[in-house]
Amino acid sequence: MKTVIEIFRPHNLPKLTDPELSETVMLTCTESGIQPASVNLVFLNQEELCRIHADFLNDPSPTDVITFDLGDDKIEAEIYISTDMAREDAEIYGAPFEHEIHRLIIHGLLHLAGYDDHEPGDRIKMKREEERLLSMRVKQT
């Protein structure tokens, strides 16, 4: 089954092409053993993502990525990413903005693969896997 990837982006998401974003999705899915029917990447500002966080997860606090699986018998994912938080985190960690966007895509997809980041031990495992997949992505480019 072929995964359908749709990307909804604001005009202020420079340097990131749809093929690059799609490659990150496919690499992560392949390496994580998930085969989604569809993945929608939705890039929003922080205010919009906070509203979704509050409305759907009863948590008004800021977040950088939210993943929903809307499918019944197959994975139909929507991954919402805050471009504002991606920019802030890129500055904090001294990483390129594009790198942070790819990290957030990977993070969102890892949730679909069963990774969780609520407990410290789980957070460490998830972060390790993010870093592994990011390094694989960099080697491919």
Domains annotated for the chain, with CATH where assigned, are 4-140 (3.40.390.30)
Specify burial of residue 99 (Cβ count, 10 A radius: 0-12, 13-18, 19+).
middle
Tokens of residue 14, six digits = 């420079």
**pTM recorded for the entire structure:** 0.94
Residue 4 φ/ψ region, left for φ over 0, alpha for ψ in the -120 to 50 degree band, beta for the rest = beta
pLDDT digits (tens, 9 = 90+) for 30-46: 999 999 999 999 999 99
pLDDT digits (tens, 9 = 90+) for 68-107: 999 888 899 999 999 999 999 999 999 999 999 999 999 9
Q: How far apart are the two ends of the chain, measured CA to CA in Å?
A: 25
* Residue type present at position 99: H
What is the residue-wise DSSP string for 85-114? Answer: HHHHHHHHHT--HHHHHHHHHHHHHHHHTT
